[in-house]
Every structure is written in C-alpha cells, then in structure tokens.
Amino acid sequence: MKITVFTGAGISQESGINTFRDKGGIWEKFDYEEVSSLNGWKKNRESVIDFYNLCWKELRNKVPNDAHSYLAKLEENHDVTILTQNVDNLHEKAGSTNVVHLHGNLNESRSSHSIDLIYPYDKDIKIGDKCEMGSQLRPNVVWFGESPTNESIQKSLEALENCELLLIIGTSLNIGYTLTLLESIDEDKVSVIYIDPNPSDFMDSICPIDYIKEKASVGMKQVYEGLML
C-alpha cells in the first residue's frame, strides 16, 4: 500500500520537544517575529542565531517515541512517504527512509544567499561563519515570511496524489499552504486517518475522515496493529 504521512509538532511532543502554537508552546516564550522571521533576521541576526543554536543543542539529546517507531516499521510492508512540518530528525532516527521536510531541517545550516548551499549543523553557528560564496550561514529552516522550497512542495504533491492511505498526525493544519496541499488527494481512492487529541475540522470539507482522538503514540499503535492484521 502507498501510505503518505503528514506530521506536525504533536508527534514529537512525546519526545520532549515543545510544540509552537499550543498553550505553553515555544511562541508563548519567544516572539517569533524576533527569532524566526525574515524581518527578525534583517533586524538582529545574532538573536536569531542564538535562538536556533539553543534549539539545536536541545534537539541533539531527543530520541524518537513509539509513534516515530511505528511509522518506521510500516516500511517493512508498505511504501511510506513522510511529509513533516517538523525541523527535528526524529523520523530519520527511528529508521524512516523517505522523509520530506517542508520546513527545513535543524540539523543543517545553509547559505543566506542560496538555498542550494547546505552544510551540516554540527556546531554553533556564529556571526562571521560563511558559505563558500561568502554569505553568512543560517539555520536551514523555513521562517515566517518564507515558503517551503519548490522541491519539497513537488515531492509532497506527488506523494499525496498517489497515496492510498493518508495519515495526519499531531498537527492543527493551521498553516496557509497546508490545506491546498491536502486538497490534492484523490478522495475516491484514499482513506484518511487523523490522529490528534484535539483535531481541527478543516479536512471535513475535503473528504471523509476517520478520527483517532489520542496522542500520537497511542493512535499509531492502533493504526499499525490494524494494518498488520
């Protein structure tokens, strides 16, 4: 079976990574305009770099949870593509091999001049660290005021258009381009399962949805066991 998985911050929350928009999330502690936007970068590059250096250090010690592991195990019997809004690498750590990062990857840095010049984020970025073209390095993440790359969007559209099962896990779908992407599914051939304790109803106008109102690890256990029967 061709399975496409669309994941958000909720799947990594059980691994100790804070969500962004929920109560107590990252954007209650930090002003996203200051630390995660193009305007913030233009205003104070050092503050932005310091924020992401902190996030990168915290991420290094995080490990996948059961939801990530169940998704990786699905590859033993199914063709699985994961589309994630997360910038962590927990899907890869769990063993998933086909992951599209719509919002970039915090384990990578890149040129602030070219999105094609990408390097390992293996130490703190500092002001003065430059790419081979002489441009300041920045985290390889999509900020407010930016859009996912054309390549990641194209790969996502292909995965959504061709899937037989769509799993949506741990996301409010509250990002402008998200529903446009998801509208590309063929509702006549795809089944949709939405795992989230508090799912939005945005998808109801697109196709029938089976809701599992549980945290990611519990919901994925149910899905995995059901597919293995």
Q: What is the SS3 assignment for 139?
A: strand
What secondary structure letter does DSSP report for 136?
B
Pairing of strands 2-7, 79-84: parallel
Torsion, Cα of 181, 184, 189, 194 (10° steps): 20
* Active-site option among 68, 91, 101, 103: 103
What phi and psi values does residue 53 have, to the nearest 5 degrees? -60, -40
Is 101 considered catalytic here? no
Closest Cα partner for 174 from 147, 153, 205, 201?
Answer: 201
Task: Report, as residue numbers or ranges, the catalytic residues.
Answer: 103
